[in-house]
Amino acid sequence: MTHSDALISRRVRRLEDLLQERGIVGGEAVDEVIDAHLAGSNPANGARVVARAWTDPDYRARLLADGAAAVGELGYAAGGVQKQRLRVVENTADVHNVIVCTLCSCYPLRLLGPSPSWYRSEAYRSRVVREPRAVLAEFGLRLPDTTTITVWDSTSETRYMVLPRRPEGTEHLDEPALAALVSRNGLIGTGPV
């Protein structure tokens, strides 16, 4: 957790206490809001964004230029209390992207669903920066030596999502069928798609 995250958490707790003390809302109401937020967090959201980018070049351009605005077009607001930047990084034949938060576990929850435990682990957070090729190989993703691997480290202001490459032989597929090909690991960069 970054310093500013800790500060926000403290403020939120204080606000919750005040609202409850004054009988404005109960703890259950707060839990319901959090549950609803988490229920809206699903890798299917990120997959839908990717499928749109694969099929609509104008959307792809907007997504790469301003991720938060482009996912907002599909109804996925980025960030909650804080206004966060979402940077979408595109895999190409020459460059493969992978995301991490070396400080804690920042992650675009709404688009990728709850983060997997390995993403939050000390081992992943430290090793993916030092030896990304070896870490990706452990995920079964073996990239040619000619592929550059770029590691994106999240901050409290910026979250990242990977735009995987569209698999070959998928020209006949419609958007929902394309979205079904995209996995959470693909959106993190630890999977091919």
For binding to Fe ion (CB under 5 A), which residues are involved? 101, 103-104, 106
What is the closest distance, in whole angstroms, from the C-beta atom of residue 143 to Fe ion in the complex?
25
The verdict on whether 156 is a catalytic residue reads: no
Strand-pairing partners, residue 96, are 149
Q: Name the catalytic one among 9, 105, 154, 183.
A: 105
Distance of CA 92 to the CA centre of its chain: 19
Q: How far apart are CA 159 and CA 47, in angstroms?
A: 16
What counts of helices (H) and strands (E) characterise the chain? 11, 4
CB contact at 8 A, 77 and 130: no
The verdict on whether 104 is a catalytic residue reads: yes
The verdict on whether 121 is a catalytic residue reads: no
What is the closest distance, in whole angstroms, from the C-beta atom of residue 101 to Fe ion in the complex?
3
Q: Which of 68, 90, 79, 5 is nearest to 40 (CA)?
A: 79
Pairing of strands 148-153, 95-100: parallel
Residue with tokens 């992207």: 97
What is the closest distance, in whole angstroms, from the C-beta atom of residue 93 to Fe ion in the complex?
30
DSSP conformational letter for 77: -
What is the closest distance, in whole angstroms, from the C-beta atom of residue 154 to Fe ion in the complex?
5
What is the closest distance, in whole angstroms, from the C-beta atom of residue 113 to Fe ion in the complex?
16
DSSP conformational letter for 26: -
The verdict on whether 41 is a catalytic residue reads: no
Nearer residue to Fe ion within complex by CB, 67 or 192:
67
Nearer residue to Fe ion within complex by CB, 108 or 186:
108
| DSSP per position, 108-146 | -HHHH-SPPHHHHSHHHHHHHHH-HHHHHHHTT----TT
Nearer residue to Fe ion within complex by CB, 106 or 182:
106
Nearer residue to Fe ion within complex by CB, 153 or 175:
153
Nearer residue to Fe ion within complex by CB, 135 or 193:
135
**So which residues are the catalytic ones?**
101, 104-106
